Amino acid sequence: MKAASASDYRELAKRRLPRFIFDYVDGGAFDEVTLERNVADLQDVQLRQRILRDVSHVDPSTTLFGQKLAMPIALGPIGMAGLLARRGERQAARAAQAAGIPFCLSTVSACSMTEVTSAVDKPIWFQLYMIRDRGFMRDLLALARDQGCTTLLFTVDVPVAGSRYRDQRSGLSGAFGIKGKSRRLFQALRHPGWVWDVGLNGRPHTLGNLTPVLGPKAGMGDFFGWLRDSFDPSVTWSELDFIRETWKGDLVIKGILDAEDAREAAKLGANGIVVSNHGGRQLDGVPSTARALPEIADAVGDRLTVLADCGVRSGLDVIRMLGLGAKTVLLGRAWAYALAGGGEAGVAHLLRLFEAEMRTAMALTGVTRIDQIGRDMLARWPGLDQNRPQTR
């Protein structure tokens, strides 16, 4: 199968990955209503097609936090991406660098920060949760600084982990004894290509950034136990001063879904926010990013940089998110599918597809630069009851 879209890479990933890993990447919380709305609401955004404009020179490049990007896209943090392909985070980081966009490493990555930074020449971003062990947080932030990370994505929408039915059904969570291991092993053996690439040649199977607290031989049960015990549900806005004081680089608060919370992030002194519902993986039934984004962008877009994720499956979707108010879009599942389906080459190919799709969408909507994309290029979007009869 030759992939021509993120959906094609999803099918390749489904064929290649053991079920418990595919469902971890593909699934969401509860009945996955928000997960589906993320995609459906974004695709419901209608663009105004404009004609007879000079679009012979379309430039999708932009600038974010002082860095020139080839296009307004970054690879967002994906936990345990090293289970999708051999040393997966290294491969994805290289693909992002080649495409001229940022790569953000998850706290719960398979590859350690030092392993990933050694694979690329340019700085990466780092994602962090609020962890009960503040000393360990300080150590991670110091390591990120020493490794040249420029931007911290601080995830705030996980005071507790969401209930993910698919993970329970597949045996990823809640089954860590002999039965659980046997169940996952049986699923893995049905995918010999994955066993060879990741199971045998992708070792060590650890969470590199957590080795100081979990040890070098920690298993999946140790990891999920650590997550359960380490998320801090008592955190309030006042305690985020700790992050702002400790981290001197660009600070982006990830997981904003309400305009009031966005205003609080601006008061904190953050450089940016990510409008996100965690890919529908936390609280089911909340608004899609596409529905929440316009109000949030209107509320704080003049005070900090607004990024967004969730539901983005094409370069056309990137244009839609920019029209709704985002300055840059984080890819999540899209690059995870491509990594699982084709490794570094798959991620690189996906990013080329996205850039080509963005160029096409820009030309057909009559814009040639990213800063020309705004609400006036939209005909309809979630929450709008009538057409918007504006002209440029």
Q: Read off the pLDDT of residues 347-361 as tens digits, 9 standing for 90 and up.
A: 999 999 999 999 999
- How, if at all, do strands 62-64 and 67-69 pair? antiparallel
Token pair 């957590």: residue: 210
What pLDDT digit, counting tens, does each position of 47-91 carry?
A: 999 999 999 999 999 999 999 999 999 999 999 999 999 999 999
What the block records as the tokens of 166 is 């698919």
Establish if 111 belongs to a structural domain.
yes
Residue 353's closest CA among 310, 315, 312?
A: 315
In this predicted structure, the answer to whether residue 341 has a pLDDT above a threshold of 80 is: yes
**Rounded Cα–Cα distance for residues 247 and 244 (Å):** 5
pLDDT at residue 242, rounded to an integer: 87
Establish if 246 belongs to a structural domain.
yes
First to last CA, the chain: 42
Establish if 387 belongs to a structural domain.
no
What the block records as the tokens of 363 is 């030309």
Least confident of 1-15, 98-112, 150-164, 208-222: 208-222
Half-sphere exposure of 359 (CA within 13 A, CB side): 12
pLDDT at residue 392, rounded to an integer: 40
Token pair 């392993």: residue: 115
- How, if at all, do strands 67-69 and 151-155 pair? unpaired
Token pair 């999920």: residue: 224
Cβ count within 10 A of residue 54: 8
* High-pLDDT (> 70) share of the chain, %: 93
| 389 pLDDT tier (thresholds 50, 70, 90) | very low
Residue 335's closest CA among 27, 153, 98, 81?
A: 81
Burial grade of 29 (CB within 10 A; 0-12, 13-18, 19 or more): buried
More confident residue, 192 or 86: 86
pLDDT at residue 219, rounded to an integer: 59
**Rounded Cα–Cα distance for residues 142 and 177 (Å):** 36
pLDDT at residue 77, rounded to an integer: 97
More confident residue, 94 or 207: 94
pLDDT at residue 388, rounded to an integer: 46
What the block records as the tokens of 387 is 């057409």
Taking a C-beta distance cutoff of 8 angstroms, is the pair 9, 337 a contact?
Answer: yes
- 102-127 mean pLDDT: 96
What the block records as the tokens of 307 is 């990024």
Cα dihedral 97, 199, 15, 309 in deg (nearest 10): -40
Nearest-10 crossing angle of helices 315-324, 333-364: 70
The overall average pLDDT reported for the chain is: 91
For the stretch 239-242, contacts whose Cβ atoms lie closer than 8 Å and that sit 24 or more positions apart, written own/partner, are 239/130, 240/130, 240/154, 240/156, 240/268, 241/268, 242/134
Residue 378's closest CA among 367, 369, 365, 368?
A: 365
Establish if 317 belongs to a structural domain.
yes
**Rounded Cα–Cα distance for residues 254 and 306 (Å):** 10
pLDDT at residue 240, rounded to an integer: 85
What pLDDT digit, counting tens, does each position of 259-309 carry?
A: 999 999 999 889 999 999 999 999 999 999 999 999 999 999 999 999 999
Taking a C-beta distance cutoff of 8 angstroms, is the pair 271, 305 a contact?
Answer: yes
Least confident of 21-25, 38-42, 116-120, 223-227: 223-227
| 391 pLDDT tier (thresholds 50, 70, 90) | very low
Establish if 31 belongs to a structural domain.
yes
Specify the CATH number for the domain of residue 73.
Answer: 3.20.20.70
Least confident of 15-29, 55-69, 233-247, 272-286: 233-247
* High-pLDDT (> 90) share of the chain, %: 71
Total domains, the chain: 1
Q: What is the DSSP letter of 231?
A: B
Residue 78's closest CA among 207, 171, 185?
A: 207
- 137-152 mean pLDDT: 95
pLDDT at residue 160, rounded to an integer: 86
Establish if 221 belongs to a structural domain.
yes
pLDDT at residue 257, rounded to an integer: 97
Measure Cα distances from 279 to 30, 115, 210, 293 in Å.
Answer: 12, 27, 23, 14
Taking a C-beta distance cutoff of 8 angstroms, is the pair 109, 89 a contact?
Answer: yes
Task: List the catalytic residues.
Answer: 278
Per-position DSSP letters for 121-155, written without gaps between them: SS--EEEEE-BS-HHHHHHHHHHHHHTT--EEEEE
Establish if 360 belongs to a structural domain.
yes
Residue ranges making up the domain that contains 278: 6-380
